[in-house]
Amino acid sequence: MEDIETNLCNPALDVGWVTARHRIAERYLRALFADHETTFTDHVTGRRLQLAHRRLCDVREADRAVSTIAYSCGFGDLSWFNRAFRRRFGMSPGAVRKKSLLPTAHVSQELHPPD
């Protein structure tokens, strides 16, 4: 799991890459994830989506294109990323970014003094 997390953004990260790197059988790797009631692919996709979501909401990355963020998180297909993102978060990546980067309205104390 630690190696997967370390290499999460590597687009080559897949079952074959991990099994070759750690010299384990694919069946064994799949069993490890089954013990956690998930699959390797679902785990990696979920972690990448979380990372992409976090980056899309980060004001420091506001100038980066959605596609650039998706590719930098290890996704290789932008259409698939957009569909998976919308399925996971209920909004498109662009809508999440827009919503998260809206300036928050601050009500001044002078307009609404404490009781």
The total domain count for the chain is: 1
Evaluate whether residue 112 is within a structural domain.
no
| Predicted pLDDT at 104 | 61
93 pLDDT above the threshold of 90: yes
Supply the CATH number for residue 87's domain: 1.10.10.60
| CB burial string 22-38: b at 16+ within 10 A, e below | eeeeeeebeeebeeeee
Checking if the pLDDT of 105 tops 70, the result is no
Residue 104: inside a domain: no
Domain hosting 51: range is 2-97
19, 25 contact by CB (below 8 A): yes
List, for residues 43-58, the tens digit of each pLDDT value. 999 999 999 999 999 9
Residue 26 clears pLDDT 70, i.e. is over it: yes
Instruction: Count CB-CB contacts under 10 A for residue 75.
Output: 22
Three-state SS for 104?
A: coil
Q: What is the mean pLDDT of residues 28-39?
A: 93
Residue 109 domain-assigned (yes or no): no
